[in-house]
Amino acid sequence: MSFPIEQIRQMFPVLHQEVHGKPLVYFDNAATTQKPQSVIQSLEGYYLHDNANIHRGAHALADRATRYFEDTRETVQKFLNAKESAEIIFTKGTTESINLVAYTFGRKFIQTGDEIIISTLEHHSNIVPWQMLCEEKGAILKVIPINDAGEILYEEFEKLLTSKTKLVSVVHASNALGTINPVKKIIDAAHAVGAKVLLDGAQSTSHLEIDVQELDCDFMALSAHKLYGPTGLGVLYGKREVLETMPPFQGGGEMIKEVTFEKTTYNDIPFKFEAGTPNIGDVIAFKYAIDFLTEIGKSAVKAHEDSLLTYANELLSSVKGFIPVGTAKEKVSVLSFNINGMHPFDVGVMLDAKGIAVRTGHHCTQPLMKRLGLEGTVRASFAVYNSKSEIEKLAEGVSQIARIKNK
Ligand code: PMP
């Protein structure tokens, strides 16, 4: 069966507009994806009919809101194939999920002289929390190097592992280059020295089939807004046996069992890590984003996006002055590039004038850009609703822009 691209596009109202008098081509999906009608309707429906604070409510609206909220937790559990829904913690996003682990697991289990390993490919949100922790604890941050294609050097990673390694925190798929890391191998090797592993799933969860039990990662962080869901919402998956050893993150309502002025006892997971009133409406709507993806099927999504990436590479490689950045063998649908003699920001503005939305700059990966000797790149990232004709528009636009400097 052919991919139902037109049917899918119809589900996304925002795509059907003109920008600067041209039909919008939205290729900024690694920054945030657009939302299907079902997600928007759920948000509206929640505030029109169901709005109430959740858990412990004695009335019908509170009961309904609680049920819908917990339904999403179960949907996320199935989506990641976690063992149980208690292993799914709602946060503000990938950034907060990683910080949660740094503040709780990190503060308790990482001591002076211990080591944390990250990779050169990391987003700032998987660098800075560990630097802050290392500074506080006198721990050491080690970085896996990469080759010029943007792939980690696995043998170098093995050399970095020691009995002092307490945590390996790596990106599953790079937002800047699209590289998919060999995470299963990384996890198994890290476990062999007794280290825990956190996967930054911000970019992988919308493209790749995820099975946290098979991967055997200890934590996975993700953002709903990169997965066709609402902004300001994310998930931390953690194995029960690890989460149970960790102290709470923030103190407040919901995360307690009993409070007296002398002593407080904490709630069970996941509530222990969800202090205060959560982002109820957005959590409820997130279920519809996951249902949307699940209905299409991740393998069909990946095949479609792979074909877009292959087509884009094919068309753009013949453009004089086109310089691809990040040519790993295993990639999600991220195309980073530069045009000889041009600043990425200028290319972005010129593409915008043609109705094509891309991102330019360092993509919150400054150390990676430094390693590649670049100030930044132009990044076109493709999603399930993008089409081959849009890729042709990108190639035509880039080719016209490149001709200015590359005659
Ligand atoms: N990690 C990666 C790989 C990302 O792409 C992003 C978002 N660009 C983040 C972490 C941070 O996600 P958020 O801003 O949603 O917390």
Domain extent listing, the chain: 5-30+297-405, 40-294
Quote the ligand 1 centre to 93 CA distance (angstroms). 8
Which atom of ligand 1 is least distant from the CA of 171?
3
Looking at residue 22, what is its pLDDT? 98
364 is annotated as an active-site residue: yes
Quote the ligand 1 centre to 96 CA distance (angstroms). 10
Cis bond leading into 145, ω under 30°? no
Mean pLDDT of 332-356: 98
Mean pLDDT of 42-62: 95
Cβ–Cβ < 8 Å for 325, 146: no
Choice among 183-192, 238-247, 255-264, 344-353 with the minimum mean pLDDT: 255-264
Phi, psi of 323 (to 5 degrees): -120, 105
Quote the ligand 1 centre to 279 CA distance (angstroms). 18
- Whose Cα sits closest to atom 4 in ligand 1? 202
Task: Judge whether residue 1 has pLDDT over 90.
Answer: no
Looking at residue 190, what is its pLDDT? 98
CB of 122 shorter than 6 A to ligand 1:
no
d(CA 280, CA 325): 40
**What distance, in Å, lies between the first and last C-alpha atoms of the chain?**
43
Task: Judge whether residue 252 has pLDDT over 90.
Answer: yes
Q: Which of 364, 378, 383, 395 is catalytic?
A: 364
Sorting pLDDT into bands at 50, 70 and 90, what band is 102?
Answer: very high
CATH match for 5-30+297-405 among 3.90.1150.10, 3.20.20.370, 2.60.40.420, 3.40.50.80:
3.90.1150.10
Looking at residue 406, what is its pLDDT? 87
Looking at residue 385, what is its pLDDT? 98
Task: Judge whether residue 42 has pLDDT over 80.
Answer: yes
Looking at residue 407, what is its pLDDT? 77
Q: Which of 207, 223, 365 to mutate to test the pocket of ligand 1 (most atoms within 8 A of CB)?
A: 223
Looking at residue 405, what is its pLDDT? 84
Choice among 63-67, 200-204, 346-350, 402-406 with the minimum mean pLDDT: 402-406
Looking at residue 82, what is its pLDDT? 98
Q: Which CATH architecture has domain 40-294?
A: 3-Layer(aba) Sandwich (3.40)
pLDDT in tens, 363-391: 999 999 999 999 999 999 999 999 999 99
Sorting pLDDT into bands at 50, 70 and 90, what band is 139?
Answer: very high
Looking at residue 56, what is its pLDDT? 80
To the nearest whole percent, how much of the chain has pLDDT over 70?
100
CB of 347 shorter than 6 A to ligand 1:
no
Quote the ligand 1 centre to 287 CA distance (angstroms). 20
CB of 125 shorter than 6 A to ligand 1:
yes
Cβ–Cβ < 8 Å for 266, 55: no
CB of 175 shorter than 6 A to ligand 1:
yes
- Whose Cα sits closest to atom 14 in ligand 1? 95
Cβ–Cβ < 8 Å for 175, 198: no
| CB half-sphere exposure, 325, CA atoms < 13 A | 29
CB of 204 shorter than 6 A to ligand 1:
no
Which atom of ligand 1 is least distant from the CA of 363?
8
Q: Which of 125, 130, 180, 219 to mutate to test the pocket of ligand 1 (most atoms within 8 A of CB)?
A: 125
What mean pLDDT, rounded, does the chain reach? 97
CB of 173 shorter than 6 A to ligand 1:
no
Looking at residue 293, what is its pLDDT? 98
CB of 202 shorter than 6 A to ligand 1:
yes
Task: Judge whether residue 317 has pLDDT over 80.
Answer: yes
